[in-house]
Amino acid sequence: MSEIKRARTWRTLVAAILAGSTSALFSAGASAASFERLPDGRIVLTALGEKFAFRERDLDRVDLYWPEYPCKPAPTRLSLALWREDPVVAACLNKIIPDDFPPGSRLSLTLRVQFTFEGGERYPEKGKRIEESLTTGSILHPGQLTPGDLPDPPRLFSFIYVGVLHVNKDFRSEIPADGNPDALGFQAHRVGKLRPFYRLPADRRIGMPIRSLDVACSDIESSHCSISLKSADGYVGLGLEWLGPSPRSGWPIYDAAARKIANAIFVARTPGDIQ
C-alpha cells in the first residue's frame, strides 16, 4: 500500500478531524516534548499532553508520521531514536511539538509503529509471510502479543498508527444497515460501491467494552480490513490493519489485540480507556 493510500486509510479509520494548527509555533512558555525512562526500561515520549511508551530497542522502528518536519535539510526517516539522540532534530521539533497540550490548540501528532519481536527483529518472521503462522513462543511488540492473542495466521500489516488526533468521539456513520447481523453480531453498512464497514455491538466484543466496534474493509470481499480505537475523550487513537480474506471470527481477536497494544503504549491512560 502506498504512503498516500495508507495516510488516507488512517484518517478514514479514526474519522478524525485533522484541523490545522492555530499557529506553527506553541507559546514561549510551553515545554518541549521530552523523553524519560520508566522503571521497566521502556522509553516514554511526552508530547501534546500524552505519554507514548516503547522499548528502547524499538525507538528506531517508530517514525514521526505527522506533523511534517519543518526544517531543512530533512532526514530521510525521522524515528524516535533520531529525535531523542540528535540535538539538531530535537531543536527543530521542539519548536512545533510541546509536551503539554496548549489550550484551544488543534495540534496533532501521529506515530507509525513497526511491529517487532522480542529480540528487535521486524515482523513478519524471517523467511515467512504475514499469511503464515507465527512460531510458537513468539512475542510481538508493542503489547507483548503472543500467538494466542492473534488469529492464526495473523495477516497483520507491519505498522500500526497511534497519535493525538482530535478524534470525533461522537461520530456515527449515516450509511444504513444492509441486511441483518451475522451470527457473530456484525452488522454490515454499505451503499453501492462505497467502502463497507461492519459494526459489532459492545456486548459482543471480547471483554465487552462499553462502545461498539467498527471494522472498515476495502471492498465487499474484505480483502483488506482495519479497525480504529479511540479514547473516551476523543483525543487519541490507534489504527490496526490486516490483510484478507480473513474469517470474521478473527475480527474480535484483532480488536482485543489492538486494545492490549493501546494499553501498552498509552501509559498515562487508564487501561481500557482506548477502545
Contacts of 145 (CB under 8 A, 6+ apart): 139, 257, 260, 261
Contact 30, 102 (CB under 8 A): yes
Amino acid 167: pLDDT: 66
d(CA 142, CA 237): 15
pLDDT of 256-269, one tens digit each? 999 999 999 999 99
Amino acid 168: pLDDT: 63
Strands 224-230 and 213-217 turn out to be antiparallel
Contact 140, 81 (CB under 8 A): no
Lowest-confidence segment of 45-49, 139-143, 231-235, 256-260 by average pLDDT: 231-235
CB count, 10 Å around CB of 132? 14
d(CA 98, CA 239): 23
User: Which helix (H) or strand (E) element contains residue 8?
Assistant: helix 3-14
DSSP for 10-78, please give it.
Answer: HHHHHTB--PPPS-SS--TTSPBPEEEE-TTS-EEEEETTEEEEE-GGGGGGEEEEESPP-SSSPPSS-
- Single pTM value for the model: 0.87
The x, y and z cell numbers of residue 163, run together, are: 497519535
d(CA 136, CA 142): 18
Higher pLDDT, residue 27 or 101: 101
**Whether pLDDT at 118 is above 80:** yes
Amino acid 170: pLDDT: 60
Amino acid 220: pLDDT: 64
d(CA 127, CA 29): 51
Peptide bond into 153 cis (omega under 30): yes
